[in-house]
Amino acid sequence: MVPIAFINSNIIMKNSLFSRLFAVILLSVAAFLPSYAQSPTEWKQMKSDVNLFWVNDMGRNGYYDQKTIAEKMGAMGETIGIEGIIAVGDIHHFNGVESVNDPLWRTNYEDIYSHPELMCFWYPLLGNHEYRGNTQAVLDYAKVSRRWNMPSRYYSKVFEGNGTTLRIVFIDTTPLMDCYRNDSTTYPDAHKQNRERQLAWIDSTLTAAHEDWVICVGHHPIYAQTPKKDVERADMQKYLLPVLKKHKNVAVYGCGHIHNFQYIRKPDTDIAFWVNSAAALSRKVSPTDGTQWCSPSTGFTVIAASKKNLSLYAVDKDGKTLYTLTKNK
């Protein structure tokens, strides 16, 4: 018969080894789990010197999570406090707007983003769907809405808080690409824009930029996993990417267009390539070359900047933080 003490010792030893092994497994799994921000208490952790919301691909008359996301943005805004909202194209599906009086302004925008915390300045860009309609009407809407700030098709804005400065460079990407410029029937205004003039402006703007952080945004991706035509990314890599890589102060190039979240890195540049998901109607996604993280969830991005840190929080329709990209100085 085996002594009771020996049996207990074996049991204790096995339990101890199992406990340690189980703890290691738990810690290993936890390292790869996303963090979640689901309440005002947790949302406060996003608050920094400069905070912005970032939306795109949102014009669905409130459907496909658009109204749900808008309400969540308002609730989060109460906690975080934001300096503004950047809207990176495709505010209106499918054929843009006809005028500043188009009913889509109400059904896609005014009636959806009606929370008091969203009555701040919005900084928009044209997407490919705006280029199907009256692009000038999108700029002219600033004369109708006090919160709509779009001084030009491409422009730059510096945000400042507690001594931290963040420059956003807004790029009009549709007319940079030959595939849109050559289709004047569908995109009548694209070929009318001076591509070389805009690229020269981007170059000079980045040369003069001395803020703590610089983010460049445009509707179309430079890199992304997508079934959309490869020629789009090829044109962006041909025309825009060399200008951005020339300057070492660009922390992030961000876009929409693909209707999912993607974070991509490339070995030849320190620029982080961030695809913000759609604020209405998402699409499937899978990893591609350089993918660090991706998700098919609808949602938006929260930008948080301090002197030492720049963070992008991918937030879904429920207010959960799916992933956080942080760059440090």
For 265-281, the DSSP string reads --TT---EEEEPPPSS-
Q: Are residues 3 and 82 in the same domain?
A: no
Q: Please indicate, yes or no, whether residues 47 and 1 belong to a single structural domain of this protein.
A: no
Looking at the structure, tell me whether residues 21 and 96 fall in a common domain: no
Do 24 and 143 have their domain in common?
no
Q: Are residues 3 and 120 in the same domain?
A: no
Identify which of 111, 110, 58, 52 has the alpha carbon closest to the alpha carbon of residue 76: 52
Q: pTM of this prediction?
A: 0.88
- The pLDDT value recorded for residue 192 is 98
Give Dmax (Cα) for the chain.
94
Same domain, 289 and 309: yes
* pLDDT, tens only, 58-84: 999 999 999 999 999 999 999 999 999
The reply to whether 126 and 16 lie within a common domain is: no
Give dist(CA 153, CA 172) in Å, integer: 6
- What are the structure tokens assigned to 66, written together? 């658009």
Q: What is the pLDDT of residue 201?
A: 98
The beta-strand segments (E) located in 209-257 are: 213-218, 250-255
Q: Are residues 123 and 253 in the same domain?
A: yes
Task: Please report the pLDDT score of residue 7 as a whole number.
Answer: 35
pLDDT at residue number 42 = 87
Range of 12's domain?
1-33
- Chain segment 260-296, per-residue pLDDT in tens: 999 999 999 999 999 999 999 999 999 999 999 999 9
Which residues in the chain show pLDDT less than 70?
Answer: 1-37
Q: What is the pLDDT of residue 14?
A: 40
165 with 60, same domain: the answer is yes
Q: Which amino acid is at 37?
A: A
172/197 same-domain check: yes
Q: In what order do the strands lie in the sheet with 321-328?
A: 122-125, 84-88, 50-55, 299-305, 309-316, 321-328
Same domain, 167 and 29: no
Predicted local confidence at residue 104, as pLDDT: 97
- Are 113 and 213 part of one and the same domain? yes
pLDDT value, residue 39: 83
Number of structural domains found in the chain? 2
Q: Are 78 and 124 in contact (CB under 8 A)?
A: no
- CATH for 296: 3.60.21.10
